[in-house]
Amino acid sequence: MPRLRASCLAPRRKKGPPLPRLPPGARARAKLTYERLKEAYPAVTELAHKDPFQLLIATIMSAQTTDRAVNLVTPELFRRYPTAADLAAADPAVVETLIKPTGFFRAKTRSIIAASRKLVELFDGTVPNNIDDLVKLPGIGRKTANVILGVGFEVPGFAVDTHVKRLTNLLRLTSSKDPVKIERQVCSIVPEEEWTGLSLRLILHGRRICIARRPKCEECILNEFCPSSRTRPKPTRRRI
Ligand code: SF4
């Protein structure tokens, strides 16, 4: 099987404006970050799924809610609609009832049925394994596409969700708040084989330790070199 192409918008590509300058020390902090996080977290998504189709639908439904809430409804949803063709032909009222606990259930019902119809129309019901085709599906942006590629197909990709955006800024691995620029900057200083794992682990770290309003810096394995740590620097603290 030919090797699938990595999805990151690498800065060496000729298209697109030049990247802003990286913060000083970003490369060294990025290496420490992916090394430390690798020791603490598996490279997994917490969304339960059995195949790329289930992952795609679960990822769309995970907007504005927790993975746990999505995992509560997907077993019955996928039991009733196991394929894209099944979900494409579903009665929206039934789907709305099934996924109601995830919130925004009317909009999500429209999105998952529309994505399923497009999957059938364009790709014979099969989830594509490249970013250019994935972003043609309604409800799929680069973030979701990178998750599907990384987790569903093992194609390296750096998904920038709200946690990744926040943590890459706190750790000063990027000088941008724009998800596309963050993706390009981080991919330029992290080896390709680390992209997917780093993104998934930053999400887990953001949920468990570096929580938006109350980061647990005293428990954080990145505290030693994190420029945004709220705890007092210890004598051994590394400055990068
Ligand atoms: S030290 Fe604090 S701010 Fe820095 S990554 Fe850890 S929890 Fe977040």
The pLDDT score that the predictor gives to residue 137 is 94
Judged against a pLDDT cut of 90, whether residue 1 lies above it is answered with no
Could you give the CA distance from residue 221 to residue 236 in angstroms, rounded to a whole number?
14
Residues with CB under 6 A from ligand 1: 170-171, 209-210, 215-217, 220, 222-223, 226, 228-230
May I ask the CATH architecture of the domain 52-152?
Orthogonal Bundle (1.10)
Going from N- to C-terminal start, the domains of the chain cover: 52-152
Say which range, 10-19, 109-118, 210-219, has the weakest mean pLDDT: 10-19
As a whole-number percent, the residues of the chain with pLDDT over 90 amount to: 84
Q: Which of 209, 196, 212 is CA-nearest to residue 55?
A: 196
- Whether the Cβ atoms of residue 182 and residue 176 lie closer than 8 Å to each other: yes
Per-residue pLDDT reduced to its tens digit, 71-98: 999 999 999 999 999 999 999 999 999 9
Find the 125 Cα to ligand 1 centroid distance in Å.
42
The pLDDT score that the predictor gives to residue 76 is 98
Per-residue pLDDT reduced to its tens digit, 101-112: 999 999 999 999
**Number of residues assigned to the chain:** 240
Could you give the CA distance from residue 140 to residue 186 in angstroms, rounded to a whole number?
21
Find the 98 Cα to ligand 1 centroid distance in Å.
38
Judged against a pLDDT cut of 70, whether residue 146 lies above it is answered with yes
| DSSP, res 177 | S
| Single pTM value for the model | 0.85
3-state secondary structure of 231: coil
Please give the single-letter amino acid code of residue 37: L
- Whether the Cβ atoms of residue 18 and residue 156 lie closer than 8 Å to each other: no
Among 164, 170, 234, the mutation site with the greatest number of ligand 1 atoms within 8 A of its Cβ is 170
